[in-house]
Structures are given as structure tokens and as C-alpha cells.
């Protein structure tokens, strides 16, 4: 009220002074998954984790056409080259920018290696160490909401190991997914005979995440015994060793063989297998769990 009275009495001679007191960071948990963010699982293939990652997409200062009012209504007389926007169209440029930076730092990396670097180095905890939450209910966000986690550009630049993919890997996946010959040819731009290729399974795609689907019989979960193969490429130091740290999801027993991989040179590849045994349903087993 005092400010309004001052403006009325001072007219055009009104003056004000603004003092910058630093950036104020909200005390709430961050990041959180926005309600409009895309959700999984992947309808085309449950064995490919979606989303891959999450990235900033709420209240982003973005470029804006100066021919359109920021409020997007004719009554708004303002014009600006920037606007505050939200949406997956805001998070996508963040990820694309990270991918461009990684390609600049590592020109020999393939798109699959870049994706792997972002996924395997993503984080899943807030600043206070608590799990990332879903914005709509303040509950911990599941893998179908956050994927591998929130992107971390600095760590993605030095992932140590990556999961690479070749053209043949993608074609094998399409064959295992029962795509027709004509559908595969539309994607691969060449004629492919699945019958002449080595038989593989959908979950053998060399992806940076492993999803195992179980089936129910008569309303109960049956035992599922699956072995998943993966191949890692060393992009870190020439001589290095990695040992697996494992936390099995509820209702499943997981083992990795071998439990340790040693590399002698950059670019060297090593393979391992993950054995998953889903036990019969128990009271504490949910529709989806992770480990």
C-alpha cells in the first residue's frame, strides 16, 4: 500500500533502488519428475527401459520468437526474445546439448556410447540424499518415471565403461521382436533375412539397462529363469578393473558372471552375463521393482 501511495504522489518522478541479495535456492527436494514428463514402460518393447534419462524441463528460460507476445494473448503488448517455458521440449535441448558436448570431447564415440555415458552416470538422489520424487504425489519416482536417472554432464564425460551398439545389433533386436521382413527393410534400408542370422532374444540388445519381464499364470507369478548378455567397451584409462556391486530386486535373485572385469587397453571389449531368477510371488513383491 505504501508503494502504491508513493507512485500516486510521485508520478513520473518516482524512483526505486533494487539490492541484489544473491540467489535463493528453494528448500524443497529437487529435482522431481514433472507431472507432464513421459512415462514408461516402453509399449513397443518392455525390455528397453524408457525413459532413458530425465533432464531439466520446468520453468526454463528459453529462446522465443519476438513476433509473439510472451503471454500468447493478443492483449499482451510485450515482445521478447526469451520466455519461461516448461515441457519435454525444454528437457530435450538439455540432453541434446550434453550429447553435442560429449561428441566434441570424444569424436570417436557412437550415438549408443553417448547415450550409455549419460545413462550410466545419471543420479537418482536429491540434494539431501533422498530419492527423486514424483511431482504429482511426492512419492519416490519409479524407473518408469525417471529411467536411469537425472543427467550429469560432468560425470558423463568420463563414464569409464560404455555399452556400444552396431547396426547388426539393432537388426538382431528387430528380428527378435518379430518385426516383419518389410518393416525391418524400411528401417535398415536393406534386405534382411532373420532366418539366416544368429538367434537372439529381445533382452540381449546391448543396452545400458536390463529389464526382465515376468509372466503370471492363474494370477500368480511363475518362476522365471533368464540369462542376459552384455558387452562393455573401455573408454577410461588403459589399465583398469571393475567389480560388480549388486542389490537384487525384491522377489528375484540376481548373479553376475564374471563378477570382475579387467581391461588392459582403451577400446578393449569385455562381456558378462546377468542371471535373473524371479521367485514365486510373495507379499512384498510389487508389479515392478529394481536393483
- Residue-wise pLDDT tens digits, 129-150: 899 999 889 899 999 999 999 9
Residues 171-189: what's their mean pLDDT? 93
Q: Residue 283's pLDDT band (boundaries 50, 70, 90)?
A: very low
Beta strands in 164-267 (DSSP E): 216-217, 220-221, 224-234, 240-243, 252-257, 260-263
Residues 227-251: what's their mean pLDDT? 91
The percent of residues above 90 in pLDDT, for the chain, comes to 64
Beta bridge partners of 261: 242
What are 64-114's pLDDT values in tens digits?
999 999 999 999 999 999 999 999 999 999 999 999 999 999 999 999 999
Q: Residue 184's pLDDT band (boundaries 50, 70, 90)?
A: very high
Distance CA 262, CA 268 (A): 10
Q: Could you tell me if 149 and 124 are in contact, meaning their C-beta atoms sit under 8 angstroms apart?
A: yes
Q: Is the pLDDT of residue 220 over 60?
A: no
pTM attached to this predicted model: 0.84
Architecture of the domain made up of 212-291: Sandwich (2.60)
Distance CA 199, CA 184 (A): 16
Task: Name the CA dihedral angle for 197, 202, 205, 208, rounded to a multiple of 10 degrees.
Answer: 180
The percent of residues above 70 in pLDDT, for the chain, comes to 92
Distance CA 214, CA 222 (A): 8
Supply angle C-alpha 34, 37, 38, rounded to 5: 155
Helices (H) and strands (E) in the chain, counts: 7, 12
Distance CA 225, CA 222 (A): 10
Q: Residue 282's pLDDT band (boundaries 50, 70, 90)?
A: low
Distance CA 225, CA 287 (A): 17
Residue 260 backbone phi and psi in degrees, to 5: -140, 140
Q: Is the pLDDT of residue 284 over 60?
A: no
Q: What is the pLDDT of residue 34?
A: 93
Alpha carbon separation from 260 to 14, 50, 247, 251 (Å, rounded):
72, 28, 16, 25
Residues 9-30: what's their mean pLDDT? 80
**Domain residue spans in the chain?**
28-63+81-160, 166-205, 212-291
Q: What is the pLDDT of residue 217?
A: 52
* Locus of grid cell 535373473: 276
Q: Is the pLDDT of residue 172 over 90?
A: yes
149: Cβ–Cβ under 8 A, 6 or more apart, which residues? 53, 54, 119, 122, 123, 124, 132
Q: Name the strand (E) or helix (H) holding 11.
A: none
Q: Residue 224's pLDDT band (boundaries 50, 70, 90)?
A: confident
Amino acid at each position: 500500500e505504501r508503494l502504491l501511495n508513493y507512485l500516486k504522489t510521485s508520478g513520473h518522478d518516482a524512483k526505486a533502488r533494487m539490492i541484489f541479495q544473491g540467489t535463493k535456492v528453494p528448500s524443497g527436494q529437487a529435482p522431481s519428475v514433472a507431472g507432464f514428463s513421459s512415462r514408461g514402460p516402453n509399449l513397443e518393447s518392455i525390455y528397453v527401459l524408457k525413459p532413458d534419462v530425465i533432464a531439466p524441463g520446468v520453468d526454463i528460460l528459453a529462446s522465443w520468437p519476438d513476433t509473439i507476445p510472451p503471454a500468447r494473448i493478443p492483449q499482451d503488448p510485450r515482445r521478447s526474445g526469451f520466455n519461461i517455458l516448461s515441457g519435454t521440449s525444454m528437457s530435450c535441448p538439455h540432453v541434446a546439448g550434453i550429447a553435442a558436448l560429449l561428441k566434441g570431447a570424444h569424436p570417436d564415440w557412437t550415438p549408443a556410447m553417448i547415450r550409455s555415458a549419460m545413462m550410466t552416470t545419471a543420479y537418482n538422489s536429491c540434494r539431501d540424499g533422498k530419492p527423486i520424487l514424483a511431482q504429482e504425489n511426492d512419492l519416490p519416482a519409479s524407473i518408469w518415471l525417471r529411467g536411469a536417472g537425472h543427467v550429469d554432464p560432468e560425470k558423463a564425460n568420463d563414464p569409464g565403461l560404455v555399452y556400444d551398439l552396431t547396426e547388426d545389433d539393432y537388426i538382431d533386436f528387430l528380428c527378435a521382436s518379430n518385426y516383419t521382413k518389410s518393416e525391418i527393410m524400411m528401417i535398415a534400408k536393406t534386405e534382411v533375412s532373420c532366418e539366416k542370422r544368429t538367434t537372439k532374444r529381445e533382452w540381449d540388445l546391448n543396452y545400458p539397462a536390463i529389464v526382465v519381464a515376468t509372466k503370471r499364470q492363474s494370477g500368480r507369478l511363475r518362476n522365471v529363469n533368464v540369462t542376459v548378455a552384455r558387452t562393455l567397451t573401455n573408454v577410461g584409462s588403459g589399465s583398469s578393473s571393475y567389480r560388480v556391486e549388486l542389490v537384487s530386486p525384491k522377489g528375484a535373485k540376481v548373479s553376475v558372471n564374471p563378477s570382475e572385469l579387467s581391461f588392459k587397453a582403451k577400446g578393449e571389449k569385455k562381456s558378462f552375463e546377468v542371471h535373473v531368477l524371479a521367485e514365486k510371488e510373495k507379499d512384498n513383491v510389487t508389479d515392478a521393482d529394481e536393483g
